[in-house]
Amino acid sequence: MTTMEVRWQEHPIHPSAKELLILKALASQPYRVFTKAQLEQILYGAGFCAKSNTIQVFIHALRKMTHRDAILTVRGVGYCLGPAPA
């Protein structure tokens, strides 16, 4: 069995499986802005169209585990890890 430990600034955090998928995507390309649709596709696969705030809930939970400014909202576009691109 493989285990994974996730750390934020040397402190372990415990994201859910879906939160971990989002965090891995954001961390794979730190300054890239991912749209809600792209994150939904990562979580649920192609063709999924949610009309809920599921992604926002996962982002909120990740911010609570890390830092409120760790995941930035780019209004009208999506989310990125680290400073928003100019």
Reading the block at residue 7, the tokens are 């750390």
pLDDT value at 64 more than 80: yes
Q: What pLDDT digit, counting tens, does each position of 2-27 carry? A: 777 888 888 899 999 999 999 999 99
pLDDT value at 84 more than 60: no
Q: What type of residue is 13?
A: I
Closest CA to 50 of 58, 60, 40, 59: 40
List, in order of start, the domains of the chain with CATH numbers.
Answer: 15-81 (1.10.10.10)
Query: Across the beta sheet with 71-74, what order do the strands follow?
Result: 34-35, 78-81, 71-74
**Quick one: pLDDT at residue 49?**
67
Q: What pLDDT digit, counting tens, does each position of 21-45 carry? A: 999 999 999 889 999 999 999 998 8
